[in-house]
Structure 1
């Protein structure tokens, strides 16, 4: 399998690991969008949210729990943070191994970006 995140899980390529346990690994995003921008990935390869099976529900929940732990460790849990899953190309997914973005350390606005689609008149 030629999956970038599987290579990180298997220690084939380096990453700045900030959290890991038996189910997930979290590392700093190489293109951060906030003072803390971590990616939390399951050790098991699951390509997209559409590929989650009933037996994967526990690991997906564990990803969210890991985000909470990391936010606490990084010191911004009480101030707040954002978590995001992207799914497929229109959702912004570029690596096809599910990952939860954890962004914190600054106030977050909404919407997160200006939509470039025009609404027909």
Structure 2
């Protein structure tokens, strides 16, 4: 396995995940090691390094990604009363593949 969990595991093997949305361009699933009570990750299926590396060729994929982020966040907000949307950059980004966390609730014990 390489350093890109999304390209190496999640996208080619969605059956290993608890998927909430999948189409030709975007995958959304419950985080495999959730940090919050509700924690969903949304990723473009085509590799894009991060939000700060998005270029003109990525616009359609990012638009589709944000549409799914919006729908997932809306559902979480309706069900739990609140939602937050987060993406990490640079040293904060463990996997160098653009991904967005949609979460709600308190932090989970990370022991």
- TM-score, structure 1 length as denominator? 0.71
Determine which structure has the larger strand proportion and give its number.
2
Q: Distance in 1 between matches of 2:23 and 2:17?
A: 15
| Structure with bigger gyration radius | 1
1:62 aligned to 2:64? yes
C-alpha displacement of 1:25: 0.2
Aligned pair count? 104
Q: Distance in 1 between matches of 2:14 and 2:42?
A: 17
Displaced runs of 4 or more, over 3 A: 71-74
For structure 2, list consecutive stretches of 5 or more residues without a partner in the other structure. 107-111
Q: 1:21 matched to which residue of 2? A: 23
- TM-score, structure 2 length as denominator? 0.77
Q: Residues 72 and 50 (structure 1 numbering): CA distance in 2 closer, same or farther, change over 3 Å?
A: closer
**Cα distance per residue 1:57-112 (max 9 Å; x no partner):** 222222222122223444x24833111111110xx1001111000012x38xxxxx
Q: 1:44 matched to which residue of 2? A: 46
Q: Residues 12 and 36 (structure 1 numbering): CA distance in 2 closer, same or farther, change over 3 Å?
A: closer
Tell me: higher relative CO, structure 1 or 2? Use CA pairs within 8 A at least 6 residues apart.
2
Determine which structure has the larger helix proportion and give its number.
2
